[in-house]
Amino acid sequence: MFDVDAVRAEFPLLTDRTIDGARLVYLDSGNTSQKPRRVIDAMTTFMEETYAPINRSSYRLAGEATEVYEGARHAVARLINAPSTDEVIFTKNATEAMNLIAMAWGRANLGAGDVVVLTEMEHHANIVPWQMLAQERGIEIRWIGLTLDGQLDLSDLDQLLDGAKVLSFTAMSNVLGTIPPTQRLCAAAHAVGALAVVDACQYVPHNVTDVQAWDADLVAFSSHKMCGPTGIGMLWGKMEILEAMPPFLGGGNMIDTVTFDGFTTAPVPAKFEAGTPAIIEAAGLTAAIEFLEDLGMDNIRQHEMQLTRYALDTLQRRFGDEITVYGPDNVEVRGGVFSFAFRDLHPHDVSQVLDESNVCVRAGHHCAKPLMKTLKINATTRASIYLYNDEADIDALADGLDGASDIFGF
């Protein structure tokens, strides 16, 4: 049994912070998640007791700090069922991981006319790096379209993938919540000899992740969306692919040796970790992963599926035709992200009114402007849930929407 009250009790901001004397209804976890006490404590304790440089000094304290940092790599590998810990690379965030893929793998392997296939529901982080390559060297980008209910339209997948070198797609849309068939898409990419890249930012925090079952080649995700701190993101990749790739950023830690004539690179993962990394954040990330593991990723997914069902039903029951929630209705293939249009109110005005009752949602294009074009809108209001949300939060959202009607006189 998932005890959401006990879970929320671990998040100081959700229990202690008030605005205008009332608690916060935080429905913006698709943006970034709140932090449990043990993550906050892990970072503080690490700084108070163990902080030192990693990988480069020989005193005992530095050895302990290195162990903490490398411990995070083990935790991440465990969370996504990576075959080897060394395949986990730490970056600044998932966006940097996506840029690493496009700039390091892409520059080494793609030339004029080579095809990269994306989907119409990608975040800008999985669009712009490829468009930068298109500007730089004339690669071609093709787009997998959407069905009316916001799932990928895979009817002409073979045609789109014909001759492609890369298929890069989100494992869960940050706007629609759509969870595409990742395993099938990776297999389809491999069938034409293409690299299978997965943006798993929205997926990993909410689901059991198994990169081996996916048979993906490169997977990017972030710490701050799964109860961990900002400033640290992850790239996982198959070792033979990572070994064959050139480095992305150059500097300290990523080299084997440097002479006046050039350099040789350190083995993976150090090869992709130039400079002093997010050491303190790694300590927090380990605590976040242990927190998720204690709850069980399958339990978290079950809780969110139930709450997603409740949210979709509640919004439909209370507002009927006056609300349009984008994305699939089947909670088996969607996560807890609800982008919606409410009456003919602009999302900015909706979120402003919701803020009046401390309901925190995002309004805008959600860094997915091409998708807005597909949906023929400029923006949506988006509520997104996580493990600490419950039915009362959804009810508060619906009550807040009622308030919007009063102000705008509908």
Partner 1 sequence: MPGLEELYREIILDHYRSPRNRGELESPPATKVDGHNPLCGDEITVYLQVEGSGDDAVVTDVKIGGQGCSISQSSASMMTGVIIGKSVGEIRAITRRFKSMMGLENVEAETGDTDIDLGDLEALQGVVKFPVRIKCAVLGWNTLTSALDEALNASE
Of 298 and 356, the one with the shorter C-beta distance to partner 1 is 356
User: How near is the Cβ of 120 to partner 1 at its closest, in Å?
Assistant: 16
Q: Which of residues 375-404 bind partner 1 (CB under 8 A)?
A: 378-379
Alpha-helical (H) ranges within 9-127 are 12-16, 37-49, 60-79, 94-100, 107-109
Number of residues that bind partner 1 (CB under 8 A): 19
Of 229 and 347, the one with the shorter C-beta distance to partner 1 is 347
- 131 touching partner 1, by CB under 8 A: no
Query: Both tokens of residue 221?
Result: 């995700």
> Is 402 in contact with 323 (CB distance < 8 Å)?
no
- 22 touching partner 1, by CB under 8 A: no
Diameter over CA atoms, the chain:
72
Separation of alpha carbons 403 and 196, rounded Å: 46
User: How near is the Cβ of 377 to partner 1 at its closest, in Å?
Assistant: 9
- 369 touching partner 1, by CB under 8 A: yes
User: How near is the Cβ of 404 to partner 1 at its closest, in Å?
Assistant: 10
Separation of alpha carbons 211 and 230, rounded Å: 23
- 374 touching partner 1, by CB under 8 A: no
- 265 touching partner 1, by CB under 8 A: no
> Is 274 in contact with 255 (CB distance < 8 Å)?
no
Separation of alpha carbons 68 and 50, rounded Å: 9
**Minimal CA–CA distance to 242: which of 212, 220, 271, 216?**
271
- 230 touching partner 1, by CB under 8 A: no
| Planar angle of CA 391, 392, 394, nearest 5 degrees | 65
φ and ψ at 265, to 5 degrees?
-95, 155
Of 22 and 392, the one with the shorter C-beta distance to partner 1 is 22
Catalytic-role residue among 186, 201, 227, 367? 367
- 212 touching partner 1, by CB under 8 A: no
- 310 touching partner 1, by CB under 8 A: no
Separation of alpha carbons 160 and 178, rounded Å: 20
**Minimal CA–CA distance to 202: which of 179, 235, 184?**
179
User: How near is the Cβ of 346 to partner 1 at its closest, in Å?
Assistant: 4
- 137 touching partner 1, by CB under 8 A: no
Of 181 and 370, the one with the shorter C-beta distance to partner 1 is 370
Residue 360: active-site member: no
Q: Which of residues 337-356 bind partner 1 (CB under 8 A)?
A: 346-349, 352-353, 356
Q: Which of 181, 231, 364, 370 binds partner 1 (CB under 8 A)?
A: 364
**Minimal CA–CA distance to 282: which of 34, 77, 70, 50?**
70
- 17 touching partner 1, by CB under 8 A: no
> Is 242 in contact with 272 (CB distance < 8 Å)?
yes
**Minimal CA–CA distance to 339: which of 14, 169, 144, 121?**
121
> Is 331 in contact with 325 (CB distance < 8 Å)?
no
Of 77 and 359, the one with the shorter C-beta distance to partner 1 is 359
Which strand (E) or helix (H) includes residue 264? strand 263-265
User: How near is the Cβ of 97 to partner 1 at its closest, in Å?
Assistant: 23
User: How near is the Cβ of 19 to partner 1 at its closest, in Å?
Assistant: 7
Q: Which of 365, 382, 387, 401 binds partner 1 (CB under 8 A)?
A: 365
Separation of alpha carbons 141 and 116, rounded Å: 5
- 2 touching partner 1, by CB under 8 A: no
Of 157 and 372, the one with the shorter C-beta distance to partner 1 is 372
Place of tokens 């849930």: 385
Of 16 and 20, the one with the shorter C-beta distance to partner 1 is 20
Catalytic residues: 367
Query: Which stretches of the chain bind partner 1, using CB under 8 A?
Result: 19-20, 346-349, 352-353, 356, 363-365, 369, 372, 378-379, 407-409
